[in-house]
Structure 1
Amino acid sequence: MEIRLNTDSNFTASEAFLEKVSAELTKKLNRFSEYITTAEVFFGDENSGKSGTHDKRCTIEVRPRNLNPEAVTHFADTVDHAFNGAVDKIRNLLDSRIGKLQNK
């Protein structure tokens, strides 16, 4: 599974943060690794430097083999919470989609 990480112009991420995100995503999606070719993570700050609630965004898009791409987005107060929320959503979505395939 290839992992791509992206940030918008309002969000700057350190190399250590991006490595942590990549490792965490690989770990959390490990059981789907035979089905997913690519996972792409997009981070953004909706308020561009101003503080606010639920202004950090994380979108995760996965491209499963022989299926259409799927994406989820989660907003939170911190980037870590946004990432964790998006990971939970994509895992639930993949459980549903891939579970249906395995039942056929």
Structure 2
Amino acid sequence: MIVQINTDKHIEGYSRMNEFFSEEVKKEFARFDNKVTRVEVHFGDENGDKFGKNDKRCLIEVRVEGKSPIAVTTHADKSEKAFNEAIVKVKRSLDNTFEKMRGH
């Protein structure tokens, strides 16, 4: 599984974030490892340098072998919180996708 972390210019600490979130993605998606080929995580700050409530965005796109990509987006006041919420959503989507595949 390939993991790619992307940030916009308003998110600080790219190298620390890259390492931390890459490891978290690998840990969270370990049970899907043989089916997921690539995970892209995109962080952004919707308000740039201005303060805003729930202005941190996390988009996670998961590429499943032989299927269309699954993408979820969440917003929160911190990047870490947005990431954790997106992980929950995308794992739920993956579970549903694989459950449907088993039914066919």
| TM-score, scaled to structure 1 | 0.94
> Considering only aligned residues, what root-mean-square deviation do their CA atoms show, in Å?
1.0
Counterpart for residue 86 of structure 1: 86
The sequence identity of aligned pairs, in percent, is 40
Match of 2:45 in 1: 45
| Residues 7, 14 of structure 2: 8 Å contact kept | no
Gaps of at least 5 residues in structure 2 are none
TM-score, structure 2 normalization: 0.94
Q: Where in structure 2 are the equivalents of 1:68-87 lying within 5 Å?
A: 68-87=68-87
Other-structure match for 1:64? 64
Q: Is the 8 A contact 2:61 2:72 kept in 1?
A: yes
**Consecutive aligned runs of 4 or more in structure 1 exceeding 4 Å deviation:** none
Q: Say which SS state the counterpart of residue 34 (structure 2) adopts.
A: coil
* Structure 1: segments with no counterpart, 5+ residues: none
